[in-house]
Amino acid sequence: MSATPQKPTAENKVKLSDIAKQTGYSLATVSKALNGKADISDTARRTIDKALKDSGYVRRISPERKQQTIEVVFRDFETIWALEVLRGIIRETKQHGINVMVAESGDRQHPDSAWVEGLIERHPIGAILVFSNLTEKERDLFKSHNIPFVVFDPSGSPTLDDLSVQADNWTGSVIATRHLLELGHKRIGIITGPDEMLCSRARLDGYSAVLAERGIPTSPELIAEGDFTTPGGYEGAMALLEDEHNRPTAIFAGSDLQAMGVYEAARQLKIRIPEDLSVIGFDDIQTSAYMGPALTTVRQPLQDMASTATRMIIDTTEGRTIQKRVILSTSLVVRDSTRRLTHAKA
């Protein structure tokens, strides 16, 4: 008479490590089969499924995680920039059958506490915080509920234990400023982002470092603080361009959205781009190539950054070792909004 599989009891509980030993597959592969992952062979899946069934292993679905979801929190979701980020996240989650939930909450430093409390109740597999970060107490809360989070383009310096993704803002600013200097511009204005944001300070530092490298002092009158929006770029440009006899010959806008504001200010002041004013942006959002003239900009790989942040959450939940802080490179995209300065203007 053949023996029937013994049901597991409190004293005789089947572990996944036992199934791994029995089948000869790794613990990771057994876990993938158990959780219905697609990236294992049919043979491995059938063998592991049979061993699980024969052992009496009962698959349990946590009531907290009936659906796999990643939550993304923005301060606001009104810009093309935010859409680019979301596209990168969806590009990655589609490959893994994961849902995405988007929320608007808080400011650049911190999401609303109500969102944090709600997220703990919803219990997604992870969260992506755009700009903002968590308090120490909230970090502990996320950790105790096994919810990893990634800070996307952190507004401040992330802690050593935080997962974060950002672009190389300093180098991006350096190559933008050098491009303008190589075109003969020496009087270069800059419209920064908010001073409290890490990326804003990095871009201003890169700009100042290149000017110092060429022996050109940084002039406060050529620096306007913006907020990475089109209205902020417009206001900054009007401040820089209002003195007709003391205008910069080029403006480095801290974002493509701000560059749009520069274009509008120039139009109102009857300043031609690039004949009278060279303009360079930062981000390379989709619309930058279709501006009139097409915008020279620093490409920040927003979709790749967002995909990377998503993979960091997936890898963490699946027990892989990951790099905690990722910085992706930036590059210059030269189009039609920058031009060599003529001798007459020099």
Residue range(s) occupied by CATH 3.40.50.2300 in the chain: 69-167+302-328, 169-300
Using 70 as the pLDDT threshold, list the residues of the chain that sit under it.
Answer: 1-12, 35-39, 58-67, 343-346
Residue 335 DSSP symbol: -
Would you state the pLDDT for residue 22? 87
Q: Is 242 exposed, middle or buried (0-12, 13-18, 19+ CB in 10 A)?
A: exposed
- How does pLDDT run across 270-284, given as a tens digit for each residue? 999 999 999 999 999
19: left (phi over 0), alpha (psi -120 to 50) or beta: alpha
Q: Which fold has domain 169-300?
A: Rossmann fold (3.40.50)
Distance CA 178, CA 206 (A): 10
Predicted TM-score (pTM) of the model is 0.77
The yes or no reply on domain 69-167+302-328 and CATH 3.40.50.2300 is yes
Distance CA 294, CA 316 (A): 40
Q: What is the CA radius of gyration of the chain?
A: 26
Would you state the pLDDT for residue 1? 41
Distance CA 274, CA 339 (A): 6
Distance CA 159, CA 208 (A): 27
Would you state the pLDDT for residue 211? 97
Would you state the pLDDT for residue 168? 97
Q: What are the b/e assignments for 144-166, b being 16+ CB within 10 Å?
A: eeebbbbbbbbbeebeeebbbbb
